[in-house]
């Protein structure tokens, strides 16, 4: 049997290795358009590669829950650890986030590629797949018995993923749900240049445009960072997929920043009053709780009105206008849904023996190793299906 895997990234390599381990006689070729495979993995986790998480469950994923369930059902954290161990990778646990023991992404790539080499997986680099027809012929030349689309999405095109997969899907008449960037910095309408570089621990709330209701759509707590275009940090990245989906529909969602998550409005008011009573003047009344530049900004914005200042400390309103886009994004939201796949399977309905893995599917995870976890799991799942269907 001849199998082609298009895309030498995380899911593609996991698929190739699983196929060859199951049956060494399967002829597996990985087509990679860059000069070497797994380039994106080197950039993950700030070069440390957060490759999975001890706590894996559906709640950490957005998108098509049927697909998420299909993959996670067979690939939990224990299976992930078994896979890494089979590659010879020792794992380090950092508060649930799993990394290679060396904390160096290059070790993950080395171990994946050395296993692929040992198993005689053919890897064709500098080999961009332009076309795939319904007879599973690649670039009008080589025909395969099964093909796996592991091309990734549109996020981080500098690592090889600039959306080729969607063109291939369109040509095969395979529908996919609208795509947007996710896990990316958020742009705001307000000019925050004077706050650029200020880091703080806080909570970021996401609300619908013109929302007078108190309940946010979502919120995230953690370290945030003001930038010249808006707001960054893990909580902002976690909410960015929703922001991107809303702004793509023409909405301007609201963000509220809480700088004092453990204090109530009354506490902040009392604190400010105490500072005034102690004779502190102007934005000095905020210097004991906020960065000075931030204090000056909030004081000036509210022209010294104590009640308004307290409200902004608890819930500074911002308007999201979009995100930094695919170039800065870690993942793509949207993609092929379960309606285009056979039940509990990653095989397409329209083209028999065509499978889809990784980010091309309508699944995206939150920060914490969930996207790579899904990539490994979906690659392994596709390989098992190919073997069962052979």
Ligand X SMILES: Cc1cc2nc3c(=O)[nH]c(=O)nc-3n(C[C@H](O)[C@H](O)[C@H](O)COP(=O)(O)OP(=O)(O)OC[C@H]3O[C@@H](n4cnc5c(N)ncnc54)[C@H](O)[C@@H]3O)c2cc1C
Q: Which listed range, 106-114, 146-154, 237-245, 304-312, lies at the site for ligand X (CB under 6 A)? A: 146-154
Would you state the structure tokens that stand for residue 207, as one six-digit string?
């609300």
Which residue minimizes CB distance to ligand X?
Answer: 9
Shortest distance, position 106 Cβ to ligand X, whole Å? 14
User: Is 150 one of the binding residues for ligand X (CB under 6 A)?
Assistant: yes
Give, as ranges, the residues between 81 and 140 that touch ligand X (CB under 6 A): 128-129
Shortest distance, position 379 Cβ to ligand X, whole Å? 7
User: Is 33 one of the binding residues for ligand X (CB under 6 A)?
Assistant: yes
| C-beta closer to ligand X: residue 286 or 360 | 360
Q: Which listed range, 87-95, 149-157, 207-215, 297-305, lies at the site for ligand X (CB under 6 A)? A: 149-157
Shortest distance, position 388 Cβ to ligand X, whole Å? 21
Closest CA to 125 of 3, 2, 8: 8
Closest CA to 360 of 152, 93, 53: 152
| C-beta closer to ligand X: residue 107 or 283 | 107
Interacting residues of 312 by C-beta distance below 8 A, sequence separation 6+? 298, 301, 302
Give, as ranges, the residues between 217 and 256 that touch ligand X (CB under 6 A): none
Would you state the structure tokens that stand for residue 29, as one six-digit string?
């070729």
Among the listed residues 4, 34, 136, 192, the single contact to ligand X using CB under 6 A: 34
User: Is 161 one of the binding residues for ligand X (CB under 6 A)?
Assistant: yes
User: Is 180 one of the binding residues for ligand X (CB under 6 A)?
Assistant: no
Give the span between the Cα atoms of 73 and 67, in whole angstroms: 10
Give the span between the Cα atoms of 201 and 223, in whole angstroms: 4
Q: Which listed range, 137-145, 159-167, 273-281, 339-347, lies at the site for ligand X (CB under 6 A)? A: 159-167
Interacting residues of 110 by C-beta distance below 8 A, sequence separation 6+? none
- Map residue 280 onto helix, strand or coil: coil
Cβ neighbours, 10 Å, residue 270: 13
Shortest distance, position 231 Cβ to ligand X, whole Å? 18
Asked whether 218 and 256 are in contact (CB, 8 A), the reply is: no
How many amino acids of this chain bind ligand X (CB under 6 A)?
A: 38
| C-beta closer to ligand X: residue 169 or 313 | 169
Strands (DSSP E) found in 303-345: 316-323, 331-335
Among the listed residues 44, 188, 232, 260, the single contact to ligand X using CB under 6 A: 44
User: Is 313 one of the binding residues for ligand X (CB under 6 A)?
Assistant: no
Closest CA to 153 of 342, 354, 371: 371
Shortest distance, position 259 Cβ to ligand X, whole Å? 28
Q: Which listed range, 45-53, 209-217, 244-252, 285-293, lies at the site for ligand X (CB under 6 A)? A: 45-53
Question: What is the Cα 364 distance to its own chain's centre?
Answer: 6
Interacting residues of 202 by C-beta distance below 8 A, sequence separation 6+? 221, 224, 235, 257, 258, 259, 260, 261
Give the span between the Cα atoms of 66 and 150, in whole angstroms: 19
Give the span between the Cα atoms of 28 and 5, in whole angstroms: 7
Among the listed residues 40, 187, 207, 381, the single contact to ligand X using CB under 6 A: 40
Q: Where are the alpha helices (DSSP H) in the chain?
A: 10-22, 39-43, 65-72, 77-86, 105-118, 164-171, 234-248, 265-277, 292-301, 306-315, 370-389
Cβ neighbours, 10 Å, residue 218: 14
User: Is 172 one of the binding residues for ligand X (CB under 6 A)?
Assistant: no
| C-beta closer to ligand X: residue 230 or 358 | 358
User: Is 10 one of the binding residues for ligand X (CB under 6 A)?
Assistant: yes
Give, as ranges, the residues between 348 and 387 that touch ligand X (CB under 6 A): 358-359, 369-372, 375
Give the span between the Cα atoms of 381 and 14, in whole angstroms: 9
Shortest distance, position 6 Cβ to ligand X, whole Å? 5
| C-beta closer to ligand X: residue 322 or 369 | 369
Give the span between the Cα atoms of 242 and 208, in whole angstroms: 10
Interacting residues of 170 by C-beta distance below 8 A, sequence separation 6+? none
| C-beta closer to ligand X: residue 111 or 265 | 111
Residue ranges binding ligand X (CB under 6 A): 6-12, 31-34, 39-40, 43-45, 49-50, 128-129, 150-152, 155-156, 159-161, 164, 330-331, 358-359, 369-372, 375
């Amino acid at each position: 049997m001849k199998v082609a895997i298009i895309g030498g990234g995380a899911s593609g390599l996991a698929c190739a290795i699983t196929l060859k381990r199951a049956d060494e006689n399967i002829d597996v070729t990985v087509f990679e358009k860059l000069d070497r495979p797994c380039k994106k993995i080197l950039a993950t986790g700030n070069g440390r590669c957060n490759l999975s998480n001890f706590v894996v469950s559906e709640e950490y994923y957005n998108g098509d829950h049927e697909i998420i369930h299909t993959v996670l059902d067979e690939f939990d954290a224990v299976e992930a650890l078994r896979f890494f161990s089979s590659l010879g990778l020792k794992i380090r646990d950092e508060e649930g986030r799993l990394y290679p023991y060396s904390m160096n992404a290059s070790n993950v790539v080395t171990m994946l590629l050395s296993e692929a080499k040992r198993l005689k997986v053919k890897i064709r680099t500098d080999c961009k797949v332009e076309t795939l027809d319904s007879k599973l012929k690649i670039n009008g030349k080589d025909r395969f018995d099964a093909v796996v689309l592991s091309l990734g999405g549109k996020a981080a095109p500098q690592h090889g993923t600039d959306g080729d997969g969607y063109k291939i899907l369109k040509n095969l008449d395979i529908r996919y749900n609208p795509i947007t960037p996710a896990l990316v910095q958020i742009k705001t309408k307000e000019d925050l240049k004077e706050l650029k570089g200020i880091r703080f621990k806080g909570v970021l709330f996401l609300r619908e445009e013109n929302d007078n209701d108190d309940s946010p759509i979502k919120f995230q707590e953690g370290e945030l960072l003001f930038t010249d275009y808006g707001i960054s940090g893990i909580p902002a990245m976690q909410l960015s997929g929703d922001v991107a989906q809303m702004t793509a529909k023409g909405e301007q969602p609201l963000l509220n920043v809480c700088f004092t998550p453990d204090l109530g409005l009354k506490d902040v008011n009392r604190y400010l009053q105490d500072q005034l009573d102690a004779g502190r003047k102007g934005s000095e009344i905020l210097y004991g709780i906020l960065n000075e530049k931030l204090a000056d900004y909030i004081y000036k914005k509210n022209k010294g009105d104590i009640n308004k200042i307290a409200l902004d400390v608890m819930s500074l309103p911002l308007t999201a206008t979009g995100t930094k886009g695919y170039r800065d994004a870690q993942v793509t939201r949207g993609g092929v849904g379960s309606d285009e796949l056979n039940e509990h399977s990653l095989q397409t309905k329209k083209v028999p023996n065509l499978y889809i893995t990784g980010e091309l599917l309508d699944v995206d995870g939150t920060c914490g190793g969930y996207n790579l976890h899904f990539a490994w799991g979906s690659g392994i799942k596709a390989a098992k299906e190919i073997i069962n269907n052979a």
